[in-house]
Structure 1
Amino acid sequence: MPHPLDSFFAPASIALIGASRDHEKIPGRLLSMLRKNGYPGEIYPVNPNYADIDGRACYKSIAEIGAPIDLAVVMIPARAVLAALEQCAAAGVRNAVIISSGFAEEGGDSAAMQDAIAALAKRTGMRISGPNAEGFFSQMQRVAATFSPAVDVKPGVVPLVATTRRIGIVAQSGGIGFAYYHRARALGVAVSYVVSAGNESDLGAGEFLDYLVQDASTDVILLFIEGIRDVEKFLAAARRAAEVKKPVIVTKVGRSGAGQRAAASHTASMAGWSAAYDAVFAKYGFIVSNDLDEALTIAAVLASNPLPRGDRVAVVTVSGGAGIWGADAVALQGLQVPELSESVQAGIKQLMPSYGTARNPIDVTAQGVTSGGLQKSVDVLTASDEVDAILVVLSLSSEVRKPFKEEELAPVLSAQHKPVVFYSYTVPSDFARRELAKSGVVVLSGLTHVGVAMRRLVDYANFRLPPAADTTRLPLRDLSAHLRSPVLSEADSKTLLRAAGIALPNEVLVKDKSGLDEALARVGFPLAMKIQSPDIAHKSEVGGVRLNVTTKGEAFLAFEALLNKAREHRPEASIQGVLIGPMAKRGVEIIVGTMLDETFGPMVMVGLGGITTELFRDVVYRPAPVSAEEAGAMLAELKAAPLLNGFRGAAKADVPALSQLIADISVLAAAYAREISEIELNPVLVHGEGLGATIVDALVVGRRG
């Protein structure tokens, strides 16, 4: 089925607006790059200052061409761009890439010019990439619509190609996008597309991602993003990638920015600059990498290998020390390096000298290369069900010797039974790279990155897209009466949550002593007493909590003391009274919260709760709403997860009840995102299996304005 961007990435004709005869300047390089890469379609230079460029007729304007144009590449001063685009639209041009800079990145009037470009795209239906873009490269259709030197073609140089599977690259920085391409070529990893999104006046990273997800020639996707503008398109594409199991490796920059968030809750204050991005990446199984070489290593391993069935790795080496180092690298990533069975060891021992070792790591010694032991060990391990992946650690510095024969290695790798990853502890020679590339091998030279890549392969193989949230459990109700002020007290917050359908303990707000007797009779002992004020978010900090109150006399004294403490510490606070409720049974303290992210909207968070929440910051975020199953997966990610699963002989906690509560709160946050900014339940006490969970404290923050 055709995609709307097919004519963008595979144009039958290209107009170069602002073309130049000077190949040293960007407008001149564009024409040169298209021709060097063998673009098969029609090229129309447009510049009123020339009659011809490089033997091609040059047109004064786009209208003068008089032929259908699929793509216009605009390389003229910013002030002239809008008029040129109007001419393109009038001539029926379907797509445009604006290389020109000087728009939103400069602010002021320049930003207004970019807004006008966005309006033009919306009005005319012409799809526009940029401005301030580095263009794109379509390897499949030989469209080098970019000035990047990375796509230059050197006469007589044969490209190194090791993989049949291809990676597609989307970058909001053209320089980094083409850096990925440049390094991928050096490794021999085939590329389908590289696209620079620029300022995204119209086409954004989400729509480009969508194109690569559906593209049959793209097997792995690399993303480099600063921020997502076309959020809905991005999320739809992310879901499709997860559904079709197409790996997406993402690098998100801007993590060090000091994001100033006016946060009333722990949930929001702990979120950090990019928590919502990481939550979205986790939901859709994106592989996060914060290092360029690491990202390329992961992409190379994915492009040249099948996914593993488990996490057991065999390390095969020609150097004992290097093999141990390789085993350490994968073990540090939590992968297993199991000792092999006696029968498998016996088979491998026959392939090596007596001073080798077959236990794992397997050292066939340097002699194993010449005797064929290295290849035969890989054969044995590929057929064995005792390991799920193989790491081959060897020296590939030689310019003349081959450690493998293509006719022996290629069939083993092309069968794709399990991942076989090749790491050279010496700088690999061009000869070695090219010889092994014939068998489909990408030679890697960063051991830590190799370990990470093998870990990510296992994680990605285990990823499953979670089921959709059940939004029918909490029928929509009008909660406006409970949101008269932005920040609610605990009592008001709990009243709102009850109205929304969330189960809470039976509690009574006592405004003065005259109501205390009736409240004590209703609640019973032992009980908890807490000062209530929308101005006091953290009650324990002002001495506003009394627990395990067991007698009426103690309750009356505590009531007076709580009011006095609040007035002493916060004389300006509006005091509603004291909330009296039953003491909750013992349980694991968990925090459950929601917040609104500026980009992705409602987020749900779960973590280790109580007063040490911000100290340990053991939290996991996901876009809301989530299903109970996805909430359970969030809990499993916590470092504190063992506390819920019977740590050191303790009773197992009621994880299903907690998971359902997290799901319900997430549904509530998503349904009322226009009215509610933050929800926080801290702590939630999770009791033993089958005994449920108790919301001890709650905070709801309404949206201001």
Structure 2
Amino acid sequence: MNGSRAPYTHDELRRLLHPRSIAVIGASTRAGSFGLRTIRNLAGFDGAVYPVNARYDAVEGHRCYPDLAALPQAPDCAVIALNREAVKETIAQCVARGVGGIVLYASGYAETGRPELIQLQDQLLRLVEGTPTRLIGPNCLGINNYAIGARIMFGRMPKPRPLHHGAIGIVTQSGSVGMSLAQAMERGVPISHSIPVGNGADVGIADLIAYLAADEHCQAIVTVFEGVEDPRQLVQAAELAVSADKPLLVHKMAVGKQGAAAALSHTGALAGSHASFRAVLERAGAVMVDDLDDVMETAQFFAKAGRPTGRGVGIVLGSGGIGVAAADKAEEHGVALPQPEGATLETLKRHVPEFGALRNPCDVTAMTLNDDTAFEACCDAFLSDPAYSALLVVYPYADEFGTSRVPVWRRLAERHGKPVVNYWASEWLEGIGAEMLEAEPRIATFRSLRRLFRAVRAWHDLEAHRALPAAARLSSPDAAGQASAALAVAPSRTLTEREAKAALAPYGIPVVREILVQDAAAAAEAAAELGFPVAIKVESADIPHKTEAGVIRLNLRDAAEVAAGYDAIMAKARAVTPPTRISGVLVQPMVPQGIEIVAGVTNDHAFGPLVAFGFGGIFVELLKDTALLPAPFTPAEAEMALRNLRGASLLDGFRGLPAVSVAALAQVLARLSEFAADLSTTIAEVDVNPLICAGDRIVAVDALIVRRA
């Protein structure tokens, strides 16, 4: 894939992906051949099918042509079902004939990792570059456009079904993954497209997302991949999907070392940092789905749900037990279940018997077996209330009683323009009513409460992200110039703490006051000037991590402790670096106790500067809780990320520590992100560890900056 270009447009890919004519080069009557399988899969295609093979007069009732030149027209799409040795010449013929796009089955290219076969794949790309002919593959199982019955592949796939509201387009690297997901059609989930890219020599994941973003038959897009060669192109495609109001659900595999190694051998694609992918794609408006098992149910929910009008969910059911289970999962995933008030509560009082539950979840009890009036009235009350963005109901029995509820849910969803989220509680997973529910335009069905509340939380979070205010710069216009000057005068690539703080200070990042001294007596005088207790640290570009080297002393309370501490840390420092590399000792006032936040900057090779932040001190190993955002970001984005940390409650006060002003902390982090963005070509990494936070007081007490080589 050529990373220098924008994703292909819908028009550039339309002949390939929405063809009116298809040539199958290598068509055959031999049982099991890819050519014969492809011809048979096209039985439902309403366009022209042209088998191409000089050895046959006809294949499966279609006239067979000796070569491309003999066809009555240049086909929109050509499938090459030939061995690798014949591929280059055939692609050249397709380009010369004006074929709109090529599907290439042959494997044994870049996915092998062998240099000569990677080069061979590059040669195929050169043949189509700069021409109107697009190439999908090699190592591609084939493509499916179910809207027109075009199953252009050799594998076995579900037969196309009539599409209805909420159709999902699937884009994958792996053909088998795409086939597996598309089989959701068998339970009634509408699928508009299923397109694996294989090695993606020309048309890649980002191109297909961009195509589906403009496709009239697709309401939501699912993509599953291991890695992409141009992640920035993927971000562009995600932004196109968002601008078209098409939810984009992303599951990235190869998140660990073993997975990444497997990805390289499987597709030849580069598996990038999962955390970086998540941060940048969520910024672009994509929804990250962590588990492959969650993908299709989450996608059908987003395809049907529209946009939420609040963050609460109402639950109405006839089973107290399932209500308890639902409440547990809602709390686990941070989904609010507001208690009914006002008119909603009054309606419940009129319809729920005294042995029911006048709350959320609302247990209308088994009385609804004989009278659905109460059930519908309570559901209507929740959906009428602006506090609730969706209604959760339960399908407990896969029988006629279960299906009798569906018209009620349909009426209510249409009346209020809000989704009804159905928990299929029956273990008869595809029992009576399954296909009926999948066909409902505003009813989303889940077979797991965990999946259900994960999806609803992601739905609410996406809307909150959309509502964030636009960026407005916080730092002064000359901050970058001042910081660059501070970086330029530092003699080493790794800056000392004092030099790093001097570079950060122009951005309004509060740093602790300090005095550099050269002997124990001067250290004691500086401590008296600053006020006890103090901290002392050796300053040396050769010792970036002072705690590990033992060259720091904290909470020194008088001159004698300072003098003794000075001698001790200098002895430690001289053991690891020559005296000429030691600038002296920094004396700083001890910052009062507070919550410690660690913040750092890294320059990702694909996405540029990213800022990571989370809880430091004793919580680093305990919580392993970090947010990652692309730089620059706004205080509102930082505040949302802080509130989404698992340990966010620590910011509200913990074991006598003062509560932290999240707004003030978010301001400091946003300023650090502006530093990271402005100086991205100069700095390789930054570490501010820690920021000590108490109330509105946010102070950086240590910092490390490493310049680019």
- For residues 163-192 of structure 1, give each alpha carbon's deviation from its aligned partner in whole angstroms, at most 9, with x where no partner exists: 512222111212112222211x13422222
Give the drift of 1:523. 6.4
Contact 2:514 2:589 in 1 (8 A): no
Work out whether 1:545 is the aligned partner of 2:546: no
Give the drift of 1:679. 0.6
Give the drift of 1:149. 1.6
Give the drift of 1:200. 1.4
What does 1:91-106 correspond to in 2, within 5 Å?
91-106=97-112
Aligned equivalent of 1:601, options 608, 613, 618: 608
Aligned equivalent of 1:585, options 559, 579, 591: 591
Determine the structure 1 residue equivalent to 2:452. 450
Give the drift of 1:18. 2.1
Give the drift of 1:273. 5.3
Distance (Å, rounded) in 2 between the aligned partners of 1:347 and 1:325: 24
Determine the structure 2 residue equivalent to 1:83. 89
After TM superposition, the score normalised by the length of structure 1 is 0.85
Distance (Å, rounded) in 1 between the aligned partners of 2:663 and 2:452: 37
Determine the structure 2 residue equivalent to 1:393. 394
Determine the structure 2 residue equivalent to 1:171. 172
Give the drift of 1:117. 2.1
Q: Relative to structure 1, is the Cα distance of residues 379 and 160 closer, same or farther in structure 2, using a 3 angstrom cutoff?
A: farther
Contact 2:157 2:183 in 1 (8 A): yes
- For residues 79-106 of structure 1, give each alpha carbon's deviation from its aligned partner in whole angstroms, at most 9, with x where no partner exists: 3322221222222223222221111111
Letter in 2 for 1:32: R
Determine the structure 2 residue equivalent to 1:182. 183
Query: Helix, strand or coil: the match of 1:454?
Result: helix
Deviates more, 1:284-293 or 1:5-14: 284-293
Contact 2:280 2:629 in 1 (8 A): yes
Letter in 2 for 1:561: A
Q: Relative to structure 1, is the Cα distance of residues 152 and 572 closer, same or farther in structure 2, using a 3 angstrom cutoff?
A: farther
Query: Helix, strand or coil: the match of 2:122?
Result: helix
Work out whether 1:50 is the aligned partner of 2:51: no
Determine the structure 2 residue equivalent to 1:191. 191
Aligned equivalent of 2:540, options 525, 533, 539: 533
Query: Helix, strand or coil: the match of 2:466?
Result: coil
Give the drift of 1:525. 6.1
- For residues 20-50 of structure 1, give each alpha carbon's deviation from its aligned partner in whole angstroms, at most 9, with x where no partner exists: 22353322222221222xx233322223333
What does 1:644-655 correspond to in 2, within 5 Å?
644-646=651-653, 651-655=658-662
Determine the structure 2 residue equivalent to 1:279. 279
Cα RMSD between the aligned structures?
3.6
Determine the structure 1 residue equivalent to 2:702. 697
Q: Relative to structure 1, is the Cα distance of residues 522 and 25 closer, same or farther in structure 2, using a 3 angstrom cutoff?
A: farther
Determine the structure 2 residue equivalent to 1:32. 40
What does 1:204-603 correspond to in 2, within 5 Å?
204-257=204-257, 274-340=274-340, 344=344, 347=347, 359-366=359-366, 368-373=368-373, 374-385=375-386, 387-398=388-399, 403-404=403-404, 409-426=409-426, 427=428, 430-436=431-437, 440=441, 441=443, 443-464=445-466, 466=468, 467-468=470-471, 470=473, 472=477, 474-476=479-481, 477=484, 481=488, 485-497=492-504, 504-510=511-517, 527-549=534-556, 554-568=561-575, 570=576, 575-586=581-592, 587-603=594-610
Determine the structure 2 residue equivalent to 1:114. 121
Deviates more, 1:606-615 or 1:187-196: 606-615
What does 1:141-152 correspond to in 2, within 5 Å?
141-152=148-159
Contact 2:396 2:402 in 1 (8 A): no
Work out whether 1:663 is the aligned partner of 2:665: no
Give the drift of 1:223. 1.6
Contact 2:239 2:285 in 1 (8 A): no
Query: Helix, strand or coil: the match of 1:150?
Result: coil
Letter in 2 for 1:134: L
Distance (Å, rounded) in 1 between the aligned partners of 2:354 and 2:338: 21
Query: Helix, strand or coil: the match of 1:124?
Result: coil
Distance (Å, rounded) in 2 between the aligned partners of 1:77 and 1:602: 45
Query: Helix, strand or coil: the match of 1:207?
Result: helix
Distance (Å, rounded) in 2 between the aligned partners of 1:469 and 1:511: 43
Query: Helix, strand or coil: the match of 1:310?
Result: coil
**Structure 2 stretches of 5 or more lacking a match?**
1-8, 261-271
Give the drift of 1:242. 3.9
Q: Relative to structure 1, is the Cα distance of residues 574 and 59 closer, same or farther in structure 2, using a 3 angstrom cutoff?
A: farther
Distance (Å, rounded) in 2 between the aligned partners of 1:357 and 1:465: 35
Deviates more, 1:6-15 or 1:196-205: 6-15
- For residues 490-526 of structure 1, give each alpha carbon's deviation from its aligned partner in whole angstroms, at most 9, with x where no partner exists: 3443455458886644545445679869977986765
Determine the structure 2 residue equivalent to 1:263. none
After TM superposition, the score normalised by the length of structure 2 is 0.85
Contact 1:89 1:124 in 2 (8 A): yes
Aligned equivalent of 2:73, options 67, 74, 77: 67
Query: Helix, strand or coil: the match of 1:390?
Result: strand
Q: Relative to structure 1, is the Cα distance of residues 437 and 201 closer, same or farther in structure 2, using a 3 angstrom cutoff?
A: closer
Contact 2:683 2:706 in 1 (8 A): yes
- For residues 341-365 of structure 1, give each alpha carbon's deviation from its aligned partner in whole angstroms, at most 9, with x where no partner exists: 5965664576677765554444445
Contact 1:256 1:273 in 2 (8 A): no
Count of equivalent residues: 680
Distance (Å, rounded) in 1 between the aligned partners of 2:229 and 2:359: 52
Distance (Å, rounded) in 2 between the aligned partners of 1:414 and 1:552: 76
Query: Helix, strand or coil: the match of 1:593?
Result: strand
Q: Relative to structure 1, is the Cα distance of residues 233 and 65 closer, same or farther in structure 2, using a 3 angstrom cutoff?
A: same
Deviates more, 1:537-546 or 1:307-316: 307-316
Distance (Å, rounded) in 2 between the aligned partners of 1:632 and 1:443: 33
Query: Helix, strand or coil: the match of 1:149?
Result: coil
Letter in 1 for 2:215: D
Distance (Å, rounded) in 1 between the aligned partners of 2:151 and 2:552: 68
**Structure 1 stretches of 5 or more lacking a match?**
154-158, 261-271
Distance (Å, rounded) in 2 between the aligned partners of 1:659 and 1:349: 44
Determine the structure 2 residue equivalent to 1:17. 25
Query: Helix, strand or coil: the match of 2:117?
Result: helix
Letter in 2 for 1:239: E
Contact 1:352 1:364 in 2 (8 A): yes
Letter in 2 for 1:378: C
Deviates more, 1:663-672 or 1:102-111: 663-672
Contact 2:600 2:685 in 1 (8 A): yes
Distance (Å, rounded) in 2 between the aligned partners of 1:574 and 1:45: 80
Letter in 1 for 2:612: M
Query: Helix, strand or coil: the match of 2:99?
Result: coil
Letter in 2 for 1:424: W
Q: Relative to structure 1, is the Cα distance of residues 244 and 651 closer, same or farther in structure 2, using a 3 angstrom cutoff?
A: farther
Distance (Å, rounded) in 2 between the aligned partners of 1:649 and 1:343: 42
Distance (Å, rounded) in 1 between the aligned partners of 2:215 and 2:513: 56
Determine the structure 2 residue equivalent to 1:156. none
Distance (Å, rounded) in 2 between the aligned partners of 1:657 and 1:352: 47
Give the drift of 1:482. 5.1
Determine the structure 2 residue equivalent to 1:127. 134
Determine the structure 2 residue equivalent to 1:269. none
Query: Helix, strand or coil: the match of 2:111?
Result: coil
Contact 1:474 1:664 in 2 (8 A): no
Query: Helix, strand or coil: the match of 2:606?
Result: coil
Among all aligned residue pairs of Structure 1 and Structure 2, give the percentage whose two residues are the same amino acid: 31
